[in-house]
Amino acid sequence: MDLRKAEEKFFQGLMILAFMIIFVSLLLILVDIVVKGLPAMNLAMVTQAPKGGYYLGKEGGVLNAIVGSLTLAGGATVIALLLALPVALYLNVYLKKGSSVATFIRFSLDVLWGVPSIVYGAFGFTIMLFFGLRASLLGGIIAVALLIFPIMIRAMDESLKMIPQELLETSYSLGSTRLEISLKVIVRQGLSGILTAILIAFGRGIGDAASVLFTAGFSDYISFNLLRPVATLPLAIFFQLGTPFPEVRSRAYASSLILTVIIIVISVATRLLTKKFRHYVIK
When the beta carbons of 171 and 223 are compared against another protein, the nearer one is 171
CB of 170 to another protein, least distance (A): 4
Q: Which residues contact 179 (CB under 8 A, 6 or more apart)?
A: none
Q: Among 118, 277, 115, 262, which Cα is nearest to 203's?
A: 262
Residue placing its CB nearer to another protein in the complex, 185 or 197: 185
Nearer to another protein, 71 or 189 (CB): 189
Binning the chain into helix, strand and coil, the percentages to the nearest 5 are: 75, 0, 25
Shortest Cβ 181–another protein spacing (Å)? 10
User: What is the full DSSP assignment across 23-88?
Assistant: HHHHHHHHHHHHHHHGGG--HHHHHS--BSSTTT-SBS-SHHHHHHHHHHHHHHHHHHHHHHHHHH
Question: Least distance in Å: CB of 168 to another protein?
Answer: 7
Comparing CB distances to another protein, the nearer of 52 and 98 is: 98
Considering the complex, state which of residue 175 and residue 244 has its C-beta at the smaller distance from another protein: 175
CB 208 within 8 A of CB 87: no
Q: How far apart are CA 168 and CA 170, in angstroms?
A: 5
Binding residues for another protein, rule: CB under 8 A, are: 96-99, 164-177, 180, 184-185, 188-189, 279-283
**Distance in Å, CB of 105 to another protein, minimum:** 15
Q: How far is the CB of 101 from another protein (least distance, A)?
A: 11
